[in-house]
A and B are shown apart, each in its own frame.
Chain A
């Protein structure tokens, strides 16, 4: 018979040592979004409801285009980091790994699509 206490199981394993980086990334992106979100809401809100020509003209201007592109990049990174914690809390094992990979795909695909669209309209 072999006895392995909980303490003995944990000794030497150490922490994952990546928690701080995730926490800090979340903090940086949330502070950035504190500025970007109001700017995006009120620039996008201005454009929404306009005709095709009006929207194209509006997003050909540097300021609304840069705000929208930055919001997509930082917003979807922030979403990815936040939803990662949601998955890690509720989904475990192989399903967790698959969910995290799918999440990464969705986040970066949406980010790239948004930035491409803005670039195409603006340039």
Chain B
């Protein structure tokens, strides 16, 4: 009976996230992370994929605003168009194109990796350089064409 009440107490404790087998919960060393690893091409290209993908929200919202303004009135269009074609807008669009091509090429790399192809270090490095150089080349091409 005493054991049973102790067990009930135990399960209450578990609800609070505490039990005897895990007294150090929340107070354990983490596995080595950003602070301990030397930056490498593989880790940098990985985090850049995430950064570019999420940062593209800014230019995406800019473009949606531009379309909404065009759909609203000529005056409103001129306001949005003025912002997006200003030197600042050009700068945002330029880096967005760079980020977009980077994210696209990095995405292709992930689609290749998904088939368990190219996961060895030499190939991962080659594809990493291809993504970095390719995104710059595609950005230059885009600026030249448009």
Query: Which B residue's beta carbon lies closest to that of A31?
Result: B111
Kindly state the separation between the CA atoms of A45 and B145 in the bound complex, as whole angstroms.
Answer: 9
Number of A-B contacts (CB under 8 A): 105
**Any B CB within 8 A of the CB of A49:** yes
* Separation of A121 and B71 alpha carbons in the complex (Å): 5
Which residues in A have their C-beta under 8 angstroms from that of B34?
none
Alpha-carbon distance between A6 and B20 when the two chains are bound, in angstroms:
11
> Are B64 and A110 interface neighbours, CB within 8 A?
yes
Q: Is the CB of B14 within 8 A of A4?
A: yes
Whether the pair B56, A3 counts as a contact (CB closer than 8 A) is no
Is the beta-carbon distance between B20 and A3 smaller than 8 angstroms?
Answer: yes
Query: Is B63 among interface residues, defined by CB-CB distance under 8 A?
Result: yes
In this complex, the interface size class of chain B, counting residues with CB under 8 Å from chain A, is: 35 or more
Q: A48 contacts B70, CB within 8 Å? A: no
Stretch at the interface among A13-21, A52-60, A94-102: A52-60
Which residues from 11 to 25 on chain B have a C-beta closer than 8 Å to any C-beta of chain A?
A: 11, 13-14, 19-22
Whether the pair B70, A41 counts as a contact (CB closer than 8 A) is no
| Pair B21/A3 contact, Cβ less than 8 Å | yes
Is B60 touching A1 in the complex (CB atoms < 8 A)? no
Chain B nearest CB from A82 CB (Å) reads 5
Docked pose: A92 CA to B64 CA in angstroms:
30
* Interface CB pairs A-B, < 8 A, 25: A1-B20, A2-B6, A2-B7, A2-B20, A3-B21, A5-B21, A6-B21, A30-B107, A31-B111, A33-B104, A33-B107, A34-B108, A41-B142, A44-B63, A45-B142, A49-B85, A55-B81, A76-B60, A79-B56, A110-B61, A113-B67, A117-B70, A117-B71, A118-B71, A121-B71
The residues of A with any CB-CB pair to B shorter than 8 Å are 1-6, 27, 30-31, 33-34, 37, 41-42, 44-46, 48-49, 52, 55-56, 59, 68, 72, 75-76, 79, 82-83, 86, 106, 110, 113-114, 116-118, 120-121
Closest 5 CB pairs of A and B: A2-B10, A117-B67, A45-B146, A117-B71, A120-B71
* Other contacts beyond A2-B7, A3-B19, A113-B68: 15, CB < 8 A: A2-B6, A27-B111, A30-B107, A37-B100, A42-B142, A59-B67, A79-B53, A79-B54, A79-B60, A82-B53, A83-B53, A83-B54, A86-B54, A114-B67, A117-B70
